């Protein structure tokens, strides 16, 4: 395998053209390879154009009228597009709003309220920190206890572990669909069914799968889901999150943060909260329009590419990296920290090394943008719309050279 | 008084030049006068420039590195600038985050937690709806009761009413500094002192005063405050809100929504929540960078203009409108729905009329952008950085003609 092979893979890549629809870094930014699109996706050209249009036309020109001429509908409208493009969800169940943390909070509160006679929230000990903090916070607030599943950090929570943990006190199970460290892809269908057999409800955190792995929320019978849009959806730094509430739960959705945008008639300015029908009751404050435009344009690109083609390329890219890790990095002291079976792996690969922090810094200094995830993980994010095989190859060469230098030194 | 007088006032206005630093509507937008800057401020040219720079340089070029190269500091950094420019607050007490609704929720939860032995939240029956919804929600959640002050909707909550309502069960008082309907300006100093004498804490909602009326949070001894940035601060549609926590309360600030951005060391990815020192513990999720840029640029303009000059012009504009309401509109059946004493009035004037809904629609059709606020209010927002006396005069002429036509018809 050499760079020519990598270029040949790019030549055959049906998604290769999408790379040109994003704004490239400048020469002075010294980016050899961007392997952190799973942390912050790159800016689509269309987002830049639409934001300028938003400012010049809707904001400057239509002014306050824009709220009734479209802005108020954006959270549900973009939610529906996201649902159709990548979530496997019918319309009317998804909105774009707040941050993932706030959406998680609202969702866990609503989920726990569906099982008022139960006392336990179950989650993964190695879940993303904000998930753990919110679970702890909600449990304390509601007088519930948390049961932590001791997952293997190099893989993730298995169906068997869930089966051993759930009990008749379990109200809610919260898991990440793709683990942020290992990229382990949980079995959403089996775990959701299992949770229901125990009489509990499930909340899936889709932050690391949305836009990279096909999701089938409706078909799996998922109760609630949340996720972020600034990773594989390329919506921009701190763009709003999304929240899915299965249609059958919406009438019972108790708004933890009841705000005017979740009211049945916000501009009637009624004194008492009267929740909107459907998913809109999950809204709280005024929709963040500039962030929403980023989500809209990010989703549009995923619609055009198709989630199945994205997934196919994600598997090819992670397989490509896996092969290079094995051939080049393992002999130099690195480990492989992700599932080897691509069916159990999302859109990134984690390389482990005792010196992960220092190596990550050196990689970034040499233009290979990766993410260090303590303790000991170097995360290589593969974003099918923007990542080329050639840049990935070049990055892995540099990675090898750094380890080789370290070993030689 | 004629249009020449209005133009003469513009000629003498030391803030007149600021109008050119905002993007004007196009001809086809048919805006004669924009009198809704207290609902959505107009776009500063600098915001457009900075957003393009953000996309091209920081997002596209520096990519994920931008988080550590400045983005992570924006919520507190812009909060400090806002605090110095208009809140009368020392650094380290203000952050920009979330929506007003979410900030209110977090703040009320934290405020109530400071008085665990008390059972009551007090607020204004005519507070902005989202405030009422959040108060109701938090009270239900914590098993508290709400006491509603029966304020006069044409003015607002007086010190005497607060004195009559507060008791030894009162944990928290939540009031708006400027009432969203009448523009009544509450006596923050006296009410805050009174609240403290009753052993309670106060939360001020500054949505309708920030950027229009000088605020002295530190000097008044205010405990907590929240506010929005898309009105007089011109930060853009749905731009993030802000939250002030007095320094002495920060160690006791209980994070209702504990998220990774409020953690002492977010990127250590610790499993247990360990709140950051200071105001940062009030953060939850990932900061919304595009929205924050809007706040930064909006605050920069207020810094340059100076809040005292802004307030002076706001008083002149509301006095100007008041005079025209009296001379032109009252004889045609309209009422004046704001405090007549400018010291008790914020940056807008409300005209009342039984046909307010229809009149508002007609005004907007004729290019005079106002806000209808049920049940009978037409709100005339005066935004000192962008509103001219001449456009206000033209707007009031059209208002008079509409009422005259309605009367004649």
How many contacts, defined by CB atoms under 8 Å, are there between A and B? 283
Question: Is there a single domain that holds both residue A210 and residue A295?
Answer: yes
Pairing mode of beta strands B145-149, B368-369: unpaired
Is residue A64 in some structural domain? Answer: no
Percent of chain A with pLDDT strictly greater than 70: 99
Q: What is the pLDDT of residues B74-95, one digit of tens each?
A: 999 999 999 999 999 999 999 9
ipTM of this complex:
0.97
Is residue B229 in some structural domain? Answer: yes
Contact residues, B window 323-362, toward A, CB-based 8 Å cutoff: none
Q: Which residues of A touch B287 (CB under 8 A)?
A: 237-238
Give the pLDDT band of residue B375 (cuts 50, 70, 90): confident
Residue A286 above 90 pLDDT? yes
Contact A325, A109 (CB under 8 A): no
Would you call A137 an interface residue with chain B, using a CB distance cutoff of 8 Å?
yes
Question: Is there a single domain that holds both residue A74 and residue A9?
Answer: no
Q: Which residues of A touch B25 (CB under 8 A)?
A: 60-63
Question: Is there a single domain that holds both residue A255 and residue A311?
Answer: no
State residue A407's pLDDT score. 64
The answer to whether residue B379 is catalytic is yes
Alpha carbons within 13 angstroms on the beta-carbon side of residue A71 total 23
The whole domain housing B90 covers 70-304
Is residue B58 in some structural domain? Answer: no
Other beta carbons less than 10 A from residue A390's beta carbon: 18
Q: How far is A91 from chain B, CA to nearest CA, in Å? A: 24
Question: Is there a single domain that holds both residue A80 and residue A219?
Answer: yes
Question: Is there a single domain that holds both residue A99 and residue A245?
Answer: yes
Q: What is the pLDDT of residues A375-404, one digit of tens each?
A: 899 999 999 999 999 999 999 999 999 999
The answer to whether residue B320 is catalytic is no
Question: Is there a single domain that holds both residue B16 and residue B34?
Answer: yes
Q: What is the pLDDT of chain B when averaged over all its residues?
A: 97
Question: Is there a single domain that holds both residue A313 and residue A282?
Answer: no
Q: Which of B226, B222, B267, B263 is nearest to B79 (CA)?
A: B226
CA B93 – CA A72 distance, rounded (Å): 32
Give the pLDDT band of residue A107 (cuts 50, 70, 90): very high
Of B21, B81, B115, B379, the active-site residue reads B379
Residue B409 above 60 pLDDT? no
Question: Is there a single domain that holds both residue B344 and residue B206?
Answer: no
CATH number of domain containing A228: 3.40.640.10
CATH number of domain containing A37: 3.90.1150.10
Written as six digits, the tokens of B175 are: 């009031």
Would you call B47 an interface residue with chain A, using a CB distance cutoff of 8 Å?
yes
Question: Is there a single domain that holds both residue A12 and residue A91?
Answer: no
State residue A308's pLDDT score. 98
Question: Is there a single domain that holds both residue B225 and residue B203?
Answer: yes
Is residue A234 in some structural domain? Answer: yes
Q: How far is A328 from chain B, CA to nearest CA, in Å? A: 26
Q: Which residues of A touch B133 (CB under 8 A)?
A: 258-260, 263, 272-273
Is residue A54 in some structural domain? Answer: no
State residue A375's pLDDT score. 84
Percent of chain B with pLDDT strictly greater than 70: 99
Give the pLDDT band of residue B407 (cuts 50, 70, 90): low
Question: Is there a single domain that holds both residue B383 and residue B263?
Answer: no
Domain C-terminal end among B253, B280, B304:
B304
CB-based contacts of B362: which residues, under 8 Å, 6+ apart?
B402
CB-based contacts of B360: which residues, under 8 Å, 6+ apart?
B370, B371, B372, B378
Domain C-terminal end among A304, A339, A372:
A304
State residue A51's pLDDT score. 98
Q: What is the pLDDT of chain A when averaged over all its residues?
A: 97
Q: What is the pLDDT of residues B161-217, one digit of tens each?
A: 999 999 999 999 999 999 999 999 999 999 999 999 999 999 999 999 999 999 999
Contact residues, A window 193-252, toward B, CB-based 8 Å cutoff: 228, 230, 236-241
Q: Nearest 5°: CA angle at A232, between A227 and A233?
A: 75
Is residue B75 in some structural domain? Answer: yes
For residues B32, B38, B40 and B44, what is the CA-based torsion angle, rounded to 10 degrees? Answer: 80
Q: Which residues of B touch A60 (CB under 8 A)?
A: 22-26, 42-43
Is residue B51 in some structural domain? Answer: no
The tally of domains found in chain B comes to 2
Domain C-terminal end among A304, A336, A367:
A304
Q: How far is A258 from chain B, CA to nearest CA, in Å? A: 6
Is residue B65 in some structural domain? Answer: no
Residue of B125, B236, B258 with shortest CB distance to A134: B258
Question: Is there a single domain that holds both residue B107 and residue B148?
Answer: yes
């Amino acid at each position: 395998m050499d760079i020519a092979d990598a270029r040949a893979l790019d030549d055959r890549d049906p998604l290769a053209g999408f790379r040109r629809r994003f704004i490239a870094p400048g020469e002075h930014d010294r980016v050899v390879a961007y392997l952190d699109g799973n942390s912050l996706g790159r800016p689509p050209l269309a987002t830049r154009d639409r934001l300028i249009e938003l400012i010049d036309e809707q904001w400057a020109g239509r002014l306050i009228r824009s709220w009734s001429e479209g802005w108020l509908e954006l959270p549900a409208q973009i939610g529906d597009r996201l649902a159709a493009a990548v979530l496997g969800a019918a319309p009317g169940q998804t909105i774009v709003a707040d941050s993932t943390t706030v959406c998680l909070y609202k969702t866990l509160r609503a989920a726990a309220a569906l099982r008022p006679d139960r006392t336990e929230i179950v989650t993964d000990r190695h879940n993303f920190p904000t998930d753990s903090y919110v679970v702890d916070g909600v449990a304390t607030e509601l007088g519930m206890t948390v049961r932590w599943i001791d997952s293997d950090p190099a893989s993730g929570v298995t169906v068997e572990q869930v089966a051993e943990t759930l009990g008749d006190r379990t109200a809610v199970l919260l898991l990440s669909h793709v683990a942020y460290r290992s990229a382990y892809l949980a079995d959403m269908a089996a775990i959701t069914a299992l949770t229901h057999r125990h009489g509990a409800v499930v909340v899936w955190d889709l932050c690391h799968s949305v836009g990279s792995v096909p999701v089938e929320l409706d078909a799996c019978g998922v109760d609630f889901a949340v996720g972020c849009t600034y990773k594989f959806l390329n919506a921009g730094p701190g763009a709003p999150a999304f929240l899915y509430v299965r249609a059958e739960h919406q009438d019972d959705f108790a708004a933890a943060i009841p705000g005017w945008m979740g009211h049945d008639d916000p501009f009637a300015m009624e004194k008492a909260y009267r929740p909107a029908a459907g998913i809109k009751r999950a809204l709280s404050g005024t929709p963040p329009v500039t962030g929403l435009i980023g989500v809209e344009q990010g989703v549009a690109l995923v619609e055009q590419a198709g989630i199945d083609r994205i997934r196919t390329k994600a598997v090819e890219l992670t397989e490509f990296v896996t092969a290079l890790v094995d051939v080049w990095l393992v002999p130099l002291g690195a480990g492989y920290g992700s599932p080897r079976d691509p069916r159990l792996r999302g859109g990134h690969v984690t390389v482990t090394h005792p010196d992960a922090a220092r190596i990550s810094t050196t990689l970034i200094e040499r233009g290979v943008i990766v993410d260090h995830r303590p303790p000991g993980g170097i995360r290589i994010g593969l974003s099918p719309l923007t990542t080329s095989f050639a840049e990935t190859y070049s990055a892995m060469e540099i990675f090898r050279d750094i380890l080789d230098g370290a070993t030689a030194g």
